[in-house]
Amino acid sequence: MNERLESLLNRYKDVCALIEDPEIVKDQNTYRDVMREYAQLSEIASTHDTIEKLSAQIKDADHLVHNEKDPDMRELAKEELKELEDQLRAADDQLKFLLIPKDPLDEKNIIMEIRAGTGGDEAALFAADLYRMYARFAETKGWKFEIMDSNETEMGGFKEIVFSISGNNVYENLRYESGVHRVQRVPATEASGRIHTSAVTVAVLPEAEETDIEIKPEDLRIDVMRAGGPGGQCVNTTDSAVRLTHLPTGLVVIQQDEKSQIKNKAKAMRVLRARLFELEETRKNTERAEARKNQIGSGDRSERIRTYNFPQNRLTDHRINLTLYKLDLIMQGDVEELFDALKLSAREELLKATAS
């Protein structure tokens, strides 16, 4: 038996005993962690049990194929054997997926940044469309959604919008959204009906805890200023906007969405911490062997990952060669099929890398 599998099955027995311990139940944080581990391990244990049952059934069916005198019964046994072998292969593949060590970042909350690229007003309008798509998907998952900063245009688009999403396995579902999103459609302002191509960039940053990234006070310059742009009566009347500059990296974060300087500073720190965390993760990724890089993209925000063609109601993800003709539904937040395909492709590539 695979040593990792044996170790996990033994741990599953321990966790089953833990969830019955009344002392564990009293501590809600510990109980939540234990139940999360139980959910992961129980799937592995269940799949392993299925494999053992199928293996026993295959042995019985194979015995019939080679020893049954009745031709009809022998033919039935052959059909059953083939079906059982197909089920066993599927269960084996599933177990291999489950045994791949889970990326600890998958359970992270995220900060997402959407910025209009080439295309002017049309790009800004599409940035707003993407924002609403992600917001609707977050609602279906029961995730918490918070706008952190935005720069709205007169036509209702966004030059940029930054927001956080928190909940179960947020980063696992949205990590592959980083990159350039290209849109092809007839702008509302285009009288001649010509199709325009615009682009929007998306960055998905796993949100770092204070323990993940240490920001030394001496490495930080904090400037306060008056907020600008839309924002109501308090704009330009109080020094509520905050600009943080991380001196070692040169990263700059400006936050002015809140009327309170303290709240703006707290939000700016969250964004800065996430960007520094992303820099560190990118550095680690580049140090890994080429064979372990993911086929569906590095998460580089300069990489063109997807095309949204509105006249044909078509979405194409260029990394996995997936085309879906339901763009109208996708823009309403129906993105589960797309995200599942991306996760499956990533798992398959990781499985190949670990097997080689």
| Common-topology check for domains 107-211+296-355 and 217-285 | no
Cα separation values, 341 from 52, 317, 348, Å: 29, 10, 11
Low pLDDT (below 70) residues in the chain: 1, 189, 191, 211, 228-238, 285-302, 354-356
- Tokens linked to 341: 């395909």
Q: 350 CB contacts (<8 Å, ≥6 apart)? A: 100, 292, 294
> Rounded to the nearest 10 degrees, what angle do helices 28-67 and 3-18 cross at?
130
Rounded-to-integer distance, Cα 346 and Cα 293, Å:
10
Three-state DSSP at 251 gives strand
- 232-287 pLDDT tens trace: 444 445 678 899 999 999 999 988 888 888 888 888 888 999 989 888 887 776 66
Q: Which of 311, 317, 330, 307 is nearest to 195 (CA)?
A: 311
Q: Which of 227, 246, 243, 244 is nearest to 235 (CA)?
A: 227
The alpha carbons of the chain give a radius of gyration, in whole angstroms, of 26
Rounded-to-integer distance, Cα 178 and Cα 348, Å:
20
Phi, psi angle pair for 310, to nearest 5°: -70, -40
Rounded-to-integer distance, Cα 208 and Cα 166, Å:
12
Question: Residue ranges per domain, the chain?
Answer: 3-99, 107-211+296-355, 217-285
Which helix (H) or strand (E) segment holds residue 120: the answer is helix 120-141
pLDDT at position 228, please? 64
pTM: 0.71
Rounded-to-integer distance, Cα 173 and Cα 243, Å:
31
What sign does the CA torsion over 130, 304, 182, 312 have? Answer: negative
In the block, residue with structure tokens 């929007």: 200
| CATH class entry, domain 217-285 | alpha beta
The DSSP line for 38-74 is HHHHHHHHHHHHHHHHHHHHHHHHHHHHHH---HHHH
Cβ–Cβ under 8 Å, residues 126 and 119 = yes
| CATH class entry, domain 107-211+296-355 | alpha beta
